[in-house]
Amino acid sequence: MKFLRDKIDQIKKPFGKGEKLERFAPAVNSLDTFLFVPNHTTKHGAHIRDAVDLKRTMITVVLALLPALVFGIWNAGYQSLSQLQEVVPFMDAFIHGLWKVIPMIIVSYGVGLGIEFYFAIQRGHDVNEGYLVTGLLIPMIMPVDLPLWMLALSVAFAVIIGKEAFGGTGMNILNPALTARAFAFFAYPTFMSGDKVWVSDATTMDAISGETILGKLAAGKEVAYDTWSMFEGTIPGSIAETSVLWILVGAAILIFTGVGSWRIIVSGFLGAAFTAFLFELWGANPLMNFGMSHLLVGGLAFGVVFMATDPVSAAQTNRGKWIYGFLIGLFSILIRVFNPAYPEGVMLAILLLNVFAPTIDHYVVQGNISRRKKRVAKQLKTA
């Protein structure tokens, strides 16, 4: 490690203070902080001594995403090859999916980090590690055959409008990954919905059926998948959103490490389950009759675990997290049931609650202050 440390110090010399390449120092410093713990500490103001920094937090989230990503790569290949053959070997499916997903990840990181580096150089600050997660999340929530240029535009929109316009990492009010998906959905709806966009190479096959379960229900069709297939994730859908099993493994990692809020995750599933139960009692259409199976399909589980828990755009108070998560689950099912044109509602639900998260926290804090004032007044009165 000393050899690597010396090499990086040597590379950084022309970018030091007063040197001719000083302006580009943030780009070089980002390599340093990515490989090594920053060698500076806070000198002023209140701060907490902790071995965990933003980089370690983001890497933990990336590790939590890997189980769902690896399964999603395999499933992307499986959904495509299973249209042509009855038996699909594991490695054949995985390699097929890999050839589709890896270019999307490369484009996402290339475009996003390029923009991040540009803004870091222009503003004279270091590149933050937040995009380590966002760059992986964006392709994971997209259809496997989304054209790469559309993905690049979605990434650029999310980073510039959804993040940098608000001041960069830690300042955005909306989840950047969901901002990218929202842009792609409303700008290119035919590439984000329909019965062929969820299966790779659909245009080269005859009579292919790749429609999602929610799409079938919205169209009044029967669902041929059993509960285990929905839970395991061997169904059409976005790259890494189909497997509740592996998403829950990621949730366990986030909760165990303290990176993700268990309150938001639990309340999100409770809100969705409560709403799905009420609609099942109503039973006016197939989406209502789907009941608790709503928790196993679409992007609900992935959104609640990895999107709703974003520490920047989520509620901050403990009570606020319960309210915030519950409303995300509730609105996710509401949008699914009452909007047949767009049966997947978790994206809009999370973006909506991102906007209202500060308001939720405000009233929670004001409620605490009001109760304390009443308690003090009561004590003074009885004294």
Average pLDDT over residues 174-200: 82
pLDDT at 203 over 60: no
More confident residue, 235 or 330: 330
Confidence of residue 110 (pLDDT cuts 50, 70, 90): very high
Is the Cβ–Cβ distance between 299 and 344 less than 8 Å?
yes
Residue 207 pLDDT = 40
Give the burial class of 130: count Cβ atoms within 10 A of its Cβ; 0-12 exposed, 13-18 middle, 19 or more buried. Answer: buried
Confidence of residue 153 (pLDDT cuts 50, 70, 90): very high
Residue 200 pLDDT = 64
Q: Is the dihedral of CA 302, 220, 202, 188 positive or negative?
A: negative
The Cβ of residue 106 has, within 10 Å, a number of other Cβ atoms equal to 13
Average pLDDT over residues 306-333: 95
pLDDT at 38 over 80: no
pLDDT at 331 over 70: yes
CA–CA dist 127, 56 (Å, integer): 15
Measured CA to CA in angstroms, residue 375 lies from 132, 140, 226 at distances of 46, 49, 54
Residue 171 pLDDT = 80
Average pLDDT over residues 226-230: 91
pLDDT in tens, 43-74: 666 566 666 667 778 889 999 999 999 999 99
Reported pTM = 0.86
Average pLDDT over residues 128-150: 89
CA–CA dist 78, 88 (Å, integer): 7
pLDDT at 243 over 70: yes
More confident residue, 14 or 33: 14
pLDDT in tens, 88-102: 999 999 999 999 999
Q: Is the dihedral of CA 246, 252, 255, 258 positive or negative?
A: negative
Residue 344 pLDDT = 75
Place of tokens 């040597």: 10
Residue 138 pLDDT = 95
Residue 256 pLDDT = 94
